[in-house]
Amino acid sequence: MADPAKVAQGVAVQYAGSAAQDHNSFDPSGKYKLRFQGAFVTVECAISQNDSIKSQGGCMVSMSNNVLIDTSLEGGLGASCLRCCCAGGSMFLSHYMLASGTVPRGDVMLAPSCPGDIIMLSMDGSTNWCLSPGNFLACDESVNITTRMLDAAQGCCGGSGFFVMEANGRGRLLASTYGAVARYDLQPGEVRKIDNGYLVAWQSSMKWSIGRATTSLWQSFLSGEGLVACFEGPGTVFVQTRSLKTLADALVPYLPSGGGGASSSNNNN
C-alpha cells in the first residue's frame, strides 16, 4: 500500500499490484496479421496445404478463390449444442483449407461481429484458456474448442450462464472484444475484481469466485456495480473496455416503446 505521507510530498511510489497492460498480438510466423487496427480491426489468415484454420461461423469477410470452407460439429452433436445454446458460440465451426492442385498459399479475412479489438494467444499445450460467450473468433486446427461448466455461484451470478468456451492444445487462439483490450498478469495471491460484462478470457487454472464490488452489499448495488468476478493470481486475465449490456441499457430511453409514436406515425403514412 502506498505511503500517504510520500504521496502528499509528491514522492513517486511504486504500485504493488499488477496494472493493466497492452497485449502484443504480433505473430512472428506471419500466419495471422491484424489489419485496419482500431475499432474495425480484421485479421488476415494465411492458408497453406498443411496449415488450415477454423473459426466461429459467419465471420468471413473475404477469401482467395483457392480456399475451401467445410463445416463440422466440433466435439460432436452434444458439445456443439452446448456451445451454441449455452456458451455463445456457433453450432457449426467453419474450417478453411487450401484446395488441392492450386497455388501453395491462400488467405482468409475474418472480422468479429462487434467493433473492438482482436487478441492472439499462443498456446503451448500446458495452459488452457476460458472464453466468455461471444469472444471466440478463430484458432489453428490443432487447438480444441470445448465447453466448460461453471459452479452454481459463477453460473447464477456471473452474468455468462453456466457454460463458457474452453480452448486447449497447441497453436494460436484468436479472441475478439467489444472495445479495446487490457491484460492483467496477476501475481500469486493478488486479487482483481472485474465487472462480469467486461470479462473476455482467463487461464482456466485460475481461482475465481463471485463477490461484492465493495465491502457492503448495499453500497455495491447503490454504486451500480453489484456482484463482480474476483480473480486470484497467479494467472492472466483479459478484459474489454466496453460492455454490450451497458450500451443496450444506455439506448433504452431512446428506443420507441411497444405502442409508441414511431409505430403510429408509420401506420399513418
The predicted structure's pLDDT at residue 3 = 60
pLDDT band with cut points at 50, 70 and 90 for residue 72: confident
Query: Degrees (nearest 5) of the Cα angle 173, 176, 179?
Result: 145
The predicted structure's pLDDT at residue 145 = 92
Query: pLDDT tens for residues 73-114?
Result: 776 665 666 556 655 667 789 999 999 888 889 999 999 999
Closest listed residue to residue 239, CA positions, set 207, 206, 192, 204: 192
| Helix ranges (DSSP H) in the chain | 4-8, 77-86, 152-157, 217-222, 244-251, 261-268
Q: State the virtual CA torsion across 28, 34, 39, 40 in degrees, nearest 10.
A: -170
Identify residue 118 by its one-letter amino acid code.
Answer: I
Query: pLDDT tens for residues 151-206?
Result: 555 555 555 655 788 999 999 999 999 999 999 999 999 999 999 889 999 999 99
Q: Are 199 and 161 in contact (CB under 8 A)?
A: no
Instruction: Name the percent of the chain lying above pLDDT 70.
Output: 74
The predicted structure's pLDDT at residue 148 = 82
Residues 6+ apart with CB under 8 A from 219: none
The predicted structure's pLDDT at residue 252 = 93
Count Cα atoms within 13 angstroms, Cβ side, for 49.
Answer: 5
Query: pLDDT tens for residues 3-42?
Result: 655 545 555 556 667 788 889 898 999 999 999 998 999 9
3-class DSSP state for residue 43? strand
Please provide residue 133's backbone torsions phi and psi, each rounded to the nearest 5 degrees: -55, 130
CA–CA dist 139, 121 (Å, integer): 9
